């Protein structure tokens, strides 16, 4: 795919450059609680502006239902982008309407504007090719060149990700180029031992990537809510822990395949268990007990990996040459259940391996827990996109940039 370096060499001064970014940041009211995705795309936007482009930034945020919803406005993200760039960023109150057209028309060379949430228009996510294409046509009228740099959205066949690049000269931004380069290190010529740490709530969200990794990874360390389906599959009592009974037989098959393939599949040996889920808003102290993973009381749920498991997992990471981590291993949002996720992050920091934190909640956890992002090999901005790449799927947004 064409790079932004090639695009800049051709010259972009005076051109309207549409940057499909991923500004899908977590909000508490109108306050951004983690600006990592904005900071990740800022270098691409800055380079284009410095080269004299009239930069039109677009993104989605959350899951509005194809209509304007103030709770999902990109206004806070536009404000934060301006702070990071050190310049005023114009904000259009719609996607392709009068405000967008006027805002873009007023841009001078080197200036930046952000359009309102693309998902406020039903054409962005439409399943119908014609409806999606019609919205892409409207977006194309706002630009001369397209730069794809929203890695967190490249696994979506959406108008601004898939259809718009076909309508304009296009290139990949710095972030997408970096993300793809990292993922290639996890799929081709991988340095071993290759350790994968998978967490998160549901095992069903990770089945496809587990299926693929059973033929590629040397060790799989399982944590988070998904671990209890594995523990149940081993015949253990998991109490009221998260459990997907419909996935138990699949998990049993995966455990058998792991053994047959010589892949070490490591499960928690102890957990922090409680009779109730913690208060994540007030963060009142939680009451819990530490129990062996095969002795979870029937009236309790596991909410974090225990101290023995933290030591075990750290030891399994210590000699790795490559580590990929996707998904927290406990309810890290509460301080009493953040210890497991902190231990995984610290093990990656202490490791000499090439370490990749796979986006989403894992990236947020790293920042929330106070780790230096530079201590990791790479922190991805796209959890779902990263997983689908590792599954071997064709990602629509990348395919569109390669044409």
Q: Which tokens hold the place of 17?
A: 């450059």
Residue with tokens 């899951």: 63
Q: Is 360 a catalytic residue?
A: yes
Q: Is 257 a catalytic residue?
A: no
Tell me which of 223, 239, 339, 360 is the catalytic residue: 360
Task: Please state the separation of Cα 69 from the chain's center in Å.
Answer: 23
Tell me which of 79, 202, 216, 393 is the catalytic residue: 202
Task: Please state the separation of Cα 368 from the chain's center in Å.
Answer: 15
Q: Is 330 a catalytic residue?
A: no
How far is the C-alpha of 191 from the C-alpha of 323, rounded, in Å? Answer: 10
Write 32-35 long-range contacts (CB < 8 A, 24+).
32/76, 32/77, 32/80, 34/363, 34/364, 34/367, 34/368, 35/80, 35/84
- What residues contact 79, with CB distance under 8 A and at least 6 apart? 89, 91
Q: Is 202 a catalytic residue?
A: yes
Annotated binding residues, written as ranges, equal 22-24, 37, 60-63, 119, 156, 206, 302, 333, 359-362
**Phi, psi angles (nearest 5°) of residue 148:** -90, 120
Tell me which of 133, 340, 384, 397 is the catalytic residue: 384
77 in Cβ contact with 112 (< 8 Å): no
Tell me which of 15, 16, 20, 37 is the catalytic residue: 37
How large is the greatest C-alpha to C-alpha distance in the chain, in angstroms? 67
Task: Tell me the sheet residues that pair with 90.
Answer: 113
- Please give the C-alpha separations between residue 81 and each of 43, 90, 101, 142, 298, in angstroms, as whole numbers: 11, 10, 20, 20, 49
Q: Which tokens hold the place of 312?
A: 């075990």
How far is the C-alpha of 53 from the C-alpha of 109, rounded, in Å? Answer: 5
Q: Which tokens hold the place of 338?
A: 């953040």
Task: Tell me the sheet residues that pair with 220.
Answer: 196, 265
Residues serving a catalytic function are: 37, 202, 360, 384
């Amino acid at each position: 795919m064409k790079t932004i370096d090639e695009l800049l060499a051709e010259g972009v001064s005076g051109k309207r450059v549409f940057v499909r970014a991923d500004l899908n940041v977590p909000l508490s009211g109108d306050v951004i609680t983690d600006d990592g995705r904005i900071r990740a795309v800022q270098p691409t936007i800055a380079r284009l502006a410095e080269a004299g482009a009239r930069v039109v930034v677009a993104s989605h945020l959350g899951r509005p239902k194809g209509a304007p919803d103030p709770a999902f406005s990109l206004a806070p993200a536009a404000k934060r982008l301006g702070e990071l760039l050190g310049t005023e960023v114009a904000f259009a109150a719609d996607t392709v309407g009068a405000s967008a057209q006027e805002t873009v028309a007023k841009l001078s060379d080197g200036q930046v504007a952000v359009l309102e949430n693309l998902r406020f228009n039903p054409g962005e996510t439409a399943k119908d090719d014609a409806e999606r294409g019609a919205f892409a046509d409207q977006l194309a009228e706002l630009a001369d060149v397209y730069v794809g740099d929203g890695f967190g959205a490249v696994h979506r066949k959406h108008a601004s990700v898939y259809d718009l690049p076909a309508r304009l000269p296009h290139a990949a931004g710095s972030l997408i180029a970096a993300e793809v380069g990292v993922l290639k290190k996890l799929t081709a010529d991988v340095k071993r031992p290759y350790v994968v740490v998978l967490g998160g709530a549901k095992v069903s969200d990770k089945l496809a990537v587990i299926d693929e990794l059973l033929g590629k990874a040397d060790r799989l360390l399982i944590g988070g809510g998904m671990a209890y389906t594995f523990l149940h599959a081993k015949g253990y009592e998991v109490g009221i822990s998260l459990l997907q009974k419909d996935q138990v037989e699949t998990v049993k098959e995966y455990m058998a395949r792991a053994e047959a393939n010589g892949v070490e599949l490591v499960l928690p040996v102890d957990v922090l268990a409680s009779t109730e889920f913690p208060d994540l808003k007030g963060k009142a102290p939680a009451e819990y007990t530490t129990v062996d993973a095969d002795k979870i009381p029937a009236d309790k749920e596991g909410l974090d990996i225990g101290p023995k498991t933290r030591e075990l997992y750290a030891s399994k990471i210590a000699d790795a040459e490559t580590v990929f981590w996707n998904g927290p291993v406990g309810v890290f949002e509460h301080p009493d259940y953040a210890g497991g996720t902190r231990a995984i992050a610290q093990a990656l920091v202490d490791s000499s391996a090439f370490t990749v934190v796979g986006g989403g909640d894992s990236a947020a956890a790293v920042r929330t827990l106070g780790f230096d992002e530079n201590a990791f090999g790479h922190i991805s901005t796209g959890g779902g996109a990263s997983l689908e790449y590792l599954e071997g799927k064709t990602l629509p947004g990348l395919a569109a940039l390669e044409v």
